[in-house]
């Protein structure tokens, strides 16, 4: 039987590994199941701080959190007050990138796929503005409206035609961090991007990164992030479902845009 794996939080019931003992709280790669046999303990991390919800280790304190942290600070090279655009801004990564950008007093606009997400970006997560890309006939024009002076930083989780629209609106020496291309994964034939000329005209830097390269940064990241979470300066919107049965729908929701923030499935409260 093939078990679907995902990131999970759990408690150690038994351990033959000297680094883990019964009762330890851990997060990492687990099966989507009630009890997991972990044969590669190097994929686990111990949870030292339990004064925040444990599910945060799946989102804002986990892989999506580190993705946002590394992507924004290392690859976007942000400067105070710059203009930042984030696609799929209400996703687990986008939420945090926007809030990190606000901590640097940037002007932050996000795109998302529903009115509800747009409202939450503006009213709960502190984005300066947000728009529903599905309601925009011309993404380039929309971006010109939100960024009349252009975009310094584009943090992209989506790929495809949004890149073309952004390229037309980038400022000199802008930076584009390519984090994911969720719009393109389901396509056999990816969309063609036509405005790469802007990379030359505007002297842009485009970089792709993968968070798996950066796991050694988790301790530094937690030291940075935990105080903000404890002080309520960083919010975390989770979309919580109960029971293993909700796994398939949750996975589908990633690609249909139905999940509202970081999708968490509670297998058991204990």
* Interaction site with a second copy (CB under 8 A): 159, 163, 178-181, 184, 189-210, 213
Report in angstroms how near the CB of residue 175 gets to a second copy at its nearest. Answer: 10
Length of the chain: 270
Report in angstroms how near the CB of residue 140 gets to a second copy at its nearest. Answer: 15
Structure tokens at 76: 């976007």
- Residue of 153, 163, 100, 149 lying closest to 127 (CA atoms): 100
Report in angstroms how near the CB of residue 246 gets to a second copy at its nearest. Answer: 29
> Which strands form 44-46's sheet, in the order they lie side by side?
5-11, 25-31, 44-46
Q: Please, what's the largest Cα pairwise distance for the chain?
A: 60
Cβ distance to a second copy smaller for residue 48 or 212: 212
Cα 58 from Cα 70, distance rounded (Å): 16
Cβ distance to a second copy smaller for residue 43 or 202: 202
Contact 86, 108 (CB under 8 A): yes
Cα 260 from Cα 120, distance rounded (Å): 10
Q: Could you give the angle at the alpha carbon of 215 between the alpha carbons of 213 and 217, nearest 5°?
A: 110
Cα 2 from Cα 31, distance rounded (Å): 10
- Residue of 167, 132, 126 lying closest to 150 (CA atoms): 167
Cβ distance to a second copy smaller for residue 67 or 111: 67
Report in angstroms how near the CB of residue 178 gets to a second copy at its nearest. Answer: 5
Helix (H, G, I), strand (E, B) or coil at 12: coil
Structure tokens at 71: 């992507």
Cβ distance to a second copy smaller for residue 96 or 211: 211
Report in angstroms how near the CB of residue 226 gets to a second copy at its nearest. Answer: 28
Report in angstroms how near the CB of residue 93 gets to a second copy at its nearest. Answer: 13
Report in angstroms how near the CB of residue 255 gets to a second copy at its nearest. Answer: 16
Residue found under tokens 């959190």: 65
Report in angstroms how near the CB of residue 152 gets to a second copy at its nearest. Answer: 15
Cβ distance to a second copy smaller for residue 8 or 94: 94
Structure tokens at 243: 């029971």
Helix (H, G, I), strand (E, B) or coil at 95: helix
């Amino acid at each position: 039987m093939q078990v679907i794996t995902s990131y999970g939080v759990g408690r150690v019931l038994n351990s033959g590994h000297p680094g883990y003992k019964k009762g330890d709280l851990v997060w990492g790669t687990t099966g989507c199941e009630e009890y997991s046999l972990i044969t590669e303990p190097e994929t686990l991390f111990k949870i030292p701080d339990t004064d925040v919800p444990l599910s945060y280790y799946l989102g804002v304190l986990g892989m999506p959190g580190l993705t946002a942290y590394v992507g924004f600070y290392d690859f976007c090279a942000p400067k105070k007050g710059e203009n930042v655009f984030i696609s799929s801004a209400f996703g687990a990564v986008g939420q945090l990138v926007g809030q990190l950008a606000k901590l640097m007093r940037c002007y932050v606009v996000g795109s998302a796929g529903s009115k509800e997400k747009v409202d939450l970006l503006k009213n709960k997560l502190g984005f300066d503005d947000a728009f529903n890309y599905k309601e925009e006939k011309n993404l380039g024009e929309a971006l010109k409206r939100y960024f009349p002076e252009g975009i310094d930083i584009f943090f992209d989780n989506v790929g495809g035609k949004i890149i073309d629209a952004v390229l037309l609106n980038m400022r000199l020496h802008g930076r584009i961090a390519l984090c994911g291309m969720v719009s393109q994964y389901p396509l056999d034939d990816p969309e063609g991007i036509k405005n790469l000329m802007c990379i030359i005209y505007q002297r842009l830097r485009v970089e792709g990164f993968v968070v798996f390269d950066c796991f050694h940064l988790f301790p530094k990241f937690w030291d940075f992030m935990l105080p903000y979470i404890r002080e309520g300066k960083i919010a975390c919107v989770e979309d919580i479902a109960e029971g293993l049965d909700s796994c398939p729908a949750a996975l589908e929701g990633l690609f249909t845009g139905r999940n509202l923030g970081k999708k968490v499935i509670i297998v058991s409260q204990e």
